[in-house]
Amino acid sequence: MTTLAEKVPASATSSRWENARRGFYRFRNSWLSIAGLLIVLVLFIIAVIGPSIVPYPEHVAGSVSTATRFQPPSALHWFGTNELGQDVFSLVVAGSQISLLAGLAVVAVGALVGTLVGAVAGYFGGWTDEVLMRLADLKLTVPSLILAMAVAAALGPGILNMVIAISISWWPGYARLVRGEVIAKKEEMFVQAARALGAGTGRILRRHILPNILTPVIIKMSLDMGFAILTVASLGFIGIGVKPPTPEWGSLLSIARTYMPDYWWTAVFPGSAIFLAVFGFNLLGDGLRDVFDPKARR
């Protein structure tokens, strides 16, 4: 969750290794974080190999089997079948790829744009900083879900459009974070030295500053993943999301909603998949935050 993630590490460089070692120890000792890590690992494995091992790959591609509609869960169909006779298990497994990819893309685009904006603002300061940061503040006041809905609806359905729509509201958090880090790093010795040696602005940013702020950005990304997946599913649920036959979890749930409670399996499994994925990332992110920000948990 973005709002929870604002407090990010301010670890001193000198004792970085020591901190990391202690952090890892803390992480290993927290079974919740390990559980999160496991869920996320399983999720990634399913996303990578799932689509090729699902029992009914043709259903994922949109084939229908109208003779076997609404079958309850059985050995043949672990999660039952839906309104078109498609195997819900296959769809949910294949959906993991879409949700993970979309979530990653949203976070990556957000981080990329935010890092650029933040780095430029922090490095140049002055009015550039002022303008960019006021813009970021403004963006934070605009309700992100409504904005994403409006943009996605205008662009039409499709994963790419959905990612664009969501990422639009995603960068300000990163911009703030990176700007702070850049301002801090800018004054440090090695940057001053590089500048004295005649390195250009681009080079300093690229070679000396950005690599040093990578860690906090990556941690924020991992913290944001759960929320990104949730937002993707939300758009799908409202019905502004992917094109059929893409088996996206949110849209699966939105369609299945009509069949509750009689054909509960069509809704419960996609819904639980969303919950589990988000839960896994949140547990992991929470553990990671503990590692890098010992103050947050004692």
Partner 1 sequence: MLTYILRRIVLIIPVLIGLSLLVFAIARLLPGDPIQLAAGPNASPAEIADLAREFGLDKPLPVQYWNYVTGLVTGDWGQSIFTRRAVAEDLKVYLPATLELVFTAMFLAILIGIPAGLTAAVYRNRWPDYMSRVVSLGAISMPRFFLGLLLQIGFAMWLGWLPLGGRFPLTEDPPAFVTGFLTIDSLISGDLRAFGITLQYLALPAFAMCLSPLATITRMMRASTIEILQQDYVLTERALGLSSRLILFKYVLRNAMSATLTVIGLYVGWLLGGTVLVETVFDWPGLGLYATKAIVTQDFMPVIGVTIVIGGIFIISNLIVDLLYGILNPKVRYE
Partner 2 sequence: MINLTRRSAIAAGTASLASMVLGGPVDAQSRKILIIASSQDIPNFDPHIATGYSASMLLRNTYDSLVRVEGNPPNPVPHLATSWTVSPDGTEYVFKLDPAAKFHDGSSVTAEAVQYSFNRLLRLNQGNAWMIQGIVDEKSVQPVDAQTVRIKLVKPFVAFLQVLPWVWVVNPKDVEANKGSDNGQTYLRSNLAGSGAFRVRRAEPGNLYELERVANAWKQGGGNLTGAIWKITRETATQRLMLQRGEAHIAVDLTSEDMDAIKDRPNVVSVIEPEYRTFSIKLNTKHGPLADVNLRKAIAYAFNYQSLLDSGGYAKLMTGPLPDGIFGHDPSLQVYRTDLAKAKEYLAKSKYPNGGIKLSIAHVSGLEQQRRWSLVLLDNLKQLNIELDVKPMIWPDMVALTRSPEAMPDFFCVYQTANYGDPDNIAFAAYHSSRNGNWQNPVYANPKVDDLIMRARAETDEEKRKALYGEFQRIVVDDTPDIFGVIEKRKLALRSDVQNFRFTPVASNAIELFPLSLR
* Interface positions with partner 2 (CB under 8 A): 62-64, 66-67, 69-70, 83-85, 156-157, 239, 243-245, 255, 257-260, 262-263
For residue 19, how far is the Cα from the chain centroid? 26
Q: Which is nearer to partner 1, 143 or 200 (CB)?
A: 143
**Helix, strand, or coil here: 81?**
strand
The one of partner 1, partner 2, none whose footprint includes residue 42, by CB under 5 to 8 A per kind, is none
Per partner kind, with CB cut-offs from 5 to 8 A, the member of partner 1, partner 2, none near residue 52 is none
Sites of contact with partner 1 (CB under 8 A): 1, 3-4, 32, 134-135, 137-139, 141-147, 149-151, 153-155, 226, 230, 233-234, 237-238, 240, 250, 253, 257, 260-261, 264, 267, 271, 274-275, 278-279, 282-283, 286, 296-298
Q: Looking at this protein, which amino acid is placed at residue 9?
A: P
Instruction: Please list the residues that pair with 81 across neighbouring strands.
Output: 87
Tell me how far, at minimum, the Cβ of 150 lies from partner 2, in Å.
13
Contact present, 212 and 9 (Cβ < 8 Å): no
Pairwise CA distance, residues 136 & 179, whole Å: 11
Question: Which C-beta is closer to partner 2: that of 20 or that of 64?
Answer: 64
The binder of 258, among partner 2, partner 1, none, by C-beta within 5 to 8 A per type, is partner 2
- Return the residue matching tokens 């000396």: 208
Q: Which residues contact 123 (CB under 8 A, 6 or more apart)?
A: 182, 186, 201, 204, 205, 209
